[in-house]
Amino acid sequence: SGSPSPFLFLLRPGSSKCISRNFGHDSVVCECNSTYCDSIGPVRLPPVGRFSSYLSSLEGSRLEAGEAEVQVNGSSTGLRLTLVSYQKYQKVRGFGGSMTDAAAMNILSLSAGSQEQLLRQYFSSEASFASRWPAATSPPACTPTPTRLETTAWTTSPWQPKTSI
């Protein structure tokens, strides 16, 4: 059904190698198309005594998986990580995301194959847990009306300071 439509995906790089693309702004993005998109693959717990790492860099590495051995009180000059299991620093309350009508319009502008590839990256059982956005599957804020230019009269709320601008 025609030539592949490329799309850029900043959130899903990984162990199926990133096809890097540089737009000249000191960053690299991974390009996905109708036939290929990189992936971190299945995420698994490492064996006891080992840890998993994912490396991204300015040079173009994107969540490249690695695994190494934990060294107790090691003398390495590299990264030193100290775990204090009894100290609570923060509480994660959840993760959210949304699907806007603009995002849906952009997705629909892709070829059918590219749409399938992009949506598979978010929602398939092969996608890693970190990449799936279940909030986007229940769109309570999506509008049922066709897209059109809309304006809203705006006034200052009582709690906002008034300015003379």
pLDDT per position as a tens digit, 1-15? 444 444 343 333 345
Question: Does residue 154 form part of some domain?
Answer: no
Question: Does residue 147 form part of some domain?
Answer: no
Question: Does residue 43 form part of some domain?
Answer: yes
pLDDT at 110: 92
d(CA 60, CA 75): 30
Question: Does residue 145 form part of some domain?
Answer: no
Question: Does residue 59 form part of some domain?
Answer: yes
Domain count, the chain: 1
Quick check: 121 pLDDT over 70? yes
Question: Does residue 35 form part of some domain?
Answer: yes
What six digits make up the tokens of 149?
A: 């230019």
Residue 127: what are its φ and ψ, rounded to 5°?
A: -70, 145
Most confident of 59-63, 103-107, 159-163: 103-107
Question: Does residue 103 form part of some domain?
Answer: yes
Residue 103 pLDDT grade (very low, low, confident, very high; cuts 50, 70, 90): confident
Question: Does residue 85 form part of some domain?
Answer: no
Q: How far is the CA of 37 from the CAs of 64, 104, 117, 136, in angstroms?
A: 14, 19, 7, 20
pLDDT at 29: 82
At 53-93, the pLDDT tens digits run: 888 887 777 778 888 888 777 677 777 777 788 888 877 77
% of residues, the chain, pLDDT over 70 = 62
d(CA 8, CA 32): 6
pLDDT at 11: 38
In the β-sheet with 28-32, what is the strand arrangement from edge to edge?
Answer: 7-9, 28-32, 20-22
Quick check: 129 pLDDT over 70? no
Q: What domain range includes position 11?
A: 7-70+97-133
